[in-house]
Chains A and B, each alone.
Chain A
Amino acid sequence: MGNNTNSKKGLPVRKYTKAGHLLLRLAALMLAAVAAVVYCDKKRYFITDQKNRHHEQRWESLYDLTPETPIDIVVLGNSHVNTGIEPSNLSCALGCTAFDMAPSGTDIADSYYCLKELLTLTTPSLVIIETYLMRGTDGPTTEGSGLADEFRSFYPRRNLGIKLQSLPILFGVESYLPAWSFTLRNHELLLRNREEMEKNIQLYKDRIAQNDDHLYLGRFARFKTGISDTIMSYYDTKGPAVDGRNERVSIRDFKYARKIVDLCDKNGIEVMFMTLPMYYRHIENYEAWRDEQSRVIVPTGKAWLNMQIPYDTVAFDKDCFESTYEKNQHMTMIGSLVATYKLAHFINDVLKIDLPDRRGDSDWIKMFYGKDGYFENMPMKDNDPNFNIVAKDIMLEDEHIIECFQKDRNFALKLDKDTEKGQDIVLLVEASINDEIAVGRLDMSLSHTFNPIGHKYYTARLTSGVTVNRILGWIDPELIESE
């Protein structure tokens, strides 16, 4: 190298003959190209689906919250968790901070690396592994829609070292570069769907303009209505959509479940497994699948909350599940609340671990006050102008009323856990109806969805225009029935 003449022909050649010069110019050219790609990434020109940006939102929120706000419970999973566990309710029920680290469409290897990065930010007390992460995959996804989800999960992570470690585990070689950049991944939008590009850029700009700083704990609410009559009829005619005998657990599942458990053990973090249910008519021979999963879970010696079996047919009714006959059935908002409170009770009553109690922490209260599940679990401020506080910490005919309040047409009552009151209660109340005072009965039921740990929670839906002023007494529902 470095010759100034071509020795064979004796011809003069250019002055620049060093490979270093060429490499330098090549590097400059590559740098310019990389700069262009990074610029487009920063501007989000090629970002897709800005309405469903929960993958990014999850990491943005985690980095914003931590380390000032420690995360106490991390629920590892995929779409089954982000639609099936409501972290704000879980936090308020247990008096700590819970987070769904559950990027849709990912498997347990992805979760391992997510957890690894999360542990660089905070050290939770409990990590919950949802078993649907063990999908029986043998290696990285190489094509199809699953790959899009894995790209979306990978991209927003910020720890370069952990991302590099995870790259060969999560992706095939052909996806190594696209994984790092929206631009490389979605550049075909430029010619194939410019409208989509423009729409997403606008949505992104709107979001920046809104400067939305609401508390985000990883949930992705998707399904509002339960199983339709059409799907119910499929169960009658076609039978269940999933056969547990066809499901398997792979070596990859074994390996990464073990790695998560080991990682947690090393960091002094408690681990448990959890299975979120599908509708009982949606799956058959679940026992076979459970036995497969047991081969991973039992040797770890960790607790396992399995909501599929034994199945709670009363709590998990058809309104709790996505209306689909596809294999992958998620939970609705109602279903997620039922599952969340079952999980909270399991942690409190069975697992019995020392979780930090942040209910007296003013920062924690400030963070969660008014958020999903707060008022169902925690006392409200005495002077909260948004509520009509009807009663607080009073005895009524030997029954301790913790709190009773009204917001718009919603009426709620909290009684001690050990109350002898049953599923349904009837109150005698004094109420204002269009500026007139009246006395009447108010039928309330134990909430189907909210099941706080420390008290019983009853709810009623009032007629429009009714404001309850005070509770006068209890009416025995059995007495009314007999009359």
Chain B
Amino acid sequence: MDETDRKPFVYDNARHGLFLIAVGLFKKIVIADRLAVFVDGVYASPVRGLPVLVAVIFFCFQLYLDFSAYSQIAVGTAELFGFRLSTNFRRPYMAVTFKDFWSRWHITLTSWFRDYVYIPLGGNRCSASRVVLNTMIVFVVSGIWHGASWNFVIWGAINGLSLIVFDRWLKMNPKTGPEKVRCALFVTSYWALSLIFFRAQTFSDAITMFSYLGFGNLDSLYTFGMKETEFHFTIWLLVGLMIIELMEERWKEKLESFFFNSYWLIRWVPYLAIVLGTIFFGIYGNGSDNNFIYFQF
């Protein structure tokens, strides 16, 4: 780094950076790695019914939390040293259309594909059929980027189709609150189901997972590494996370301003809760090996 690149230390930035790192660690160690216990168990030996359904939902959150935590830690670390990196995830499960989703999910990669693949292919400024083709090419390529396997190609294609069918042809564009809630649930559910191809080892494993989706076998829910207490705890963590994201969606600036400028006790209680929560509820130790999922890509 050149001498002129040296950044001045700014207390507020560094504090915000540390906060992001702490939150990122909490999301990774407490939530994502806990979800992984269940998801890995079900994908290793799927049981027809509710366990597979829950595993699909859990993986949807695991991937988001794992990767967004990883990004958050990177952004926080950079901020600590005076650098500002772009945000990579912006509450994607609040998205009400598929276009909206891709403007919130893995923003840096999506922007790269837009700038270096989609636009050179012609982008939107060409015929309707060519736009469809361009969209499909971008998503299939993004699938292959994740791994040289048919599963990733299918995963990419499914997500390309979602944009074409629901956003472009059916013109999904919710206006009212209830409509937005329904659409957000639909977009997230579609995404969660597409992730079966992303997570399964082989195509036939993915098909098995699809065929096992259901609501039966409630009793076997607690046989995948999570007993009842831990399972309920995990659900509450996810509910809490979604409530926080919903609040952020509406009042992010206000909340941050209020929090970081409030009386020290108001700030320190969450700080301590995050640190102690990570220590007492984290999945670590005993030789556990929980790398970030995106280390494999």
Q: Is A33 a contact of B233 with CB atoms below 8 Å?
A: no
Complex interface: chain B residues within 8 A of A462 (CB): none
Number of A-B contacts (CB under 8 A): 85
Q: For chain A residues 176-211, which have a beta carbon within 8 Å of chain B?
A: 177-178, 183-185, 187-188, 190-192, 194
Closest A residue to B232 using CB positions:
A191
Using CB atoms and an 8 Å cutoff, list the residues of chain A in contact with chain B: 1-3, 6-7, 13-14, 16-19, 21-22, 26, 29-30, 32-33, 36-37, 142-144, 147-148, 172, 174-175, 177-178, 183-185, 187-188, 190-192, 194
Q: Is A22 a contact of B15 with CB atoms below 8 Å?
A: yes
Q: Is B229 a contact of A2 with CB atoms below 8 Å?
A: no
| 3 closest residue pairs by CB, A with B | A143-B287, A178-B285, A191-B230
Least Cβ distance of B63 to chain A in Å? 22
Q: Is A36 a contact of B287 with CB atoms below 8 Å?
A: no
Query: Quick one: which of A7, A26, A148, A184 contacts B8, CB cutoff 8 A?
Result: A7
Least Cβ distance of A186 to chain B in Å? 8
Known: A178-B285, A188-B283, A191-B229. A16 touches B276 (CB 8 A): no
| Secondary structure call for the B interface | helix
| Secondary structure call for the A interface | helix
For residue B145, CB closer than 8 A to chain A, the reply is: no
**Residue with the greatest number of chain B CB neighbours at <10 A, chosen from A3, A16, A22, A178:** A22
Least Cβ distance of B16 to chain A in Å? 11
Q: Is B276 a contact of A18 with CB atoms below 8 Å?
A: no
Complex interface: chain A residues within 8 A of B286 (CB): 143, 147-148, 178, 185
Query: Quick one: which of A26, A143, A175 contacts B18, CB cutoff 8 A?
Result: A26
Known: A22-B14, A36-B279. A192 touches B287 (CB 8 A): no
Q: Is A3 a contact of B230 with CB atoms below 8 Å?
A: no
Complex interface: chain B residues within 8 A of A22 (CB): 11, 14-15, 18
A149 to B48, CA, bound (A): 39
Least Cβ distance of A37 to chain B in Å? 6
Q: A13-B12, A22-B18, A187-B282 are in contact. List 15 more A-B contacts (CB 8 A).
A: A22-B11, A22-B14, A29-B268, A33-B275, A36-B279, A174-B285, A174-B287, A174-B288, A174-B289, A175-B285, A178-B285, A184-B284, A184-B285, A185-B285, A187-B280
Q: Is B8 a contact of A3 with CB atoms below 8 Å?
A: yes
Q: Is B272 a contact of A33 with CB atoms below 8 Å?
A: yes
A171 to B96, CA, bound (A): 49
A177 to B275, CA, bound (A): 15
Q: Is A13 a contact of B11 with CB atoms below 8 Å?
A: yes
Q: Is A2 a contact of B287 with CB atoms below 8 Å?
A: no
Complex interface: chain B residues within 8 A of A33 (CB): 272, 275-276, 279
Least Cβ distance of B231 to chain A in Å? 9
Complex interface: chain A residues within 8 A of B288 (CB): 174
Least Cβ distance of A30 to chain B in Å? 8
Q: For chain B residues 27-68, which have a beta carbon within 8 Å of chain A?
A: none
Least Cβ distance of B262 to chain A in Å? 14
Query: Quick one: which of B9, B271, B272, B285 contacts A19, CB cutoff 8 A?
Result: B9
Complex interface: chain A residues within 8 A of B11 (CB): 13-14, 16-18, 21-22
Complex interface: chain B residues within 8 A of A7 (CB): 8
**Residue with the greatest number of chain A CB neighbours at <10 A, chosen from B229, B233, B272, B286:** B286
For residue B171, CB closer than 8 A to chain A, the reply is: no
Tally of B interface residues using CB under 8 Å = 28
Least Cβ distance of B252 to chain A in Å? 20
Least Cβ distance of A140 to chain B in Å? 11
Subset of 30 A-B contacts with CB under 8 Å: A3-B8, A6-B10, A13-B10, A13-B11, A14-B11, A17-B9, A17-B10, A17-B11, A21-B11, A22-B18, A29-B271, A32-B275, A33-B275, A33-B276, A36-B279, A37-B279, A142-B287, A147-B286, A174-B285, A175-B287, A177-B285, A183-B280, A184-B279, A185-B285, A185-B286, A187-B280, A190-B280, A191-B227, A191-B229, A191-B230
Closest A residue to B233 using CB positions:
A191
Least Cβ distance of B97 to chain A in Å? 35
Complex interface: chain A residues within 8 A of B227 (CB): 191-192
Query: Quick one: which of A1, A2, A187 contacts B279, CB cutoff 8 A?
Result: A187
Least Cβ distance of B278 to chain A in Å? 9
Closest A residue to B271 using CB positions:
A29
Closest A residue to B290 using CB positions:
A174
Least Cβ distance of A362 to chain B in Å? 49
Complex interface: chain A residues within 8 A of B280 (CB): 183, 187, 190
A269 to B284, CA, bound (A): 42
Complex interface: chain A residues within 8 A of B186 (CB): none
Query: Quick one: which of B9, B15, B233, B281 contacts A18, CB cutoff 8 A?
Result: B9
Complex interface: chain B residues within 8 A of A13 (CB): 10-12
Least Cβ distance of A338 to chain B in Å? 38
Complex interface: chain A residues within 8 A of B276 (CB): 33, 36
Query: Quick one: which of B10, B18, B233, B272 contacts A32, CB cutoff 8 A?
Result: B272
A22 to B80, CA, bound (A): 11
A183 to B280, CA, bound (A): 8
Complex interface: chain A residues within 8 A of B284 (CB): 174, 178, 184
A75 to B10, CA, bound (A): 59
Least Cβ distance of A381 to chain B in Å? 52
**Residue with the greatest number of chain A CB neighbours at <10 A, chosen from B227, B229, B285, B288:** B285
Least Cβ distance of B289 to chain A in Å? 8
A183 to B275, CA, bound (A): 14
Q: Is B272 a contact of A29 with CB atoms below 8 Å?
A: yes
**Residue with the greatest number of chain B CB neighbours at <10 A, chosen from A1, A6, A7, A33:** A33
A16 to B281, CA, bound (A): 33
Complex interface: chain B residues within 8 A of A188 (CB): 283
Q: Is B8 a contact of A19 with CB atoms below 8 Å?
A: no
Least Cβ distance of A457 to chain B in Å? 48
Closest B residue to A144 using CB positions:
B287
Q: Is B229 a contact of A194 with CB atoms below 8 Å?
A: yes
A188 to B282, CA, bound (A): 8
Least Cβ distance of B25 to chain A in Å? 12
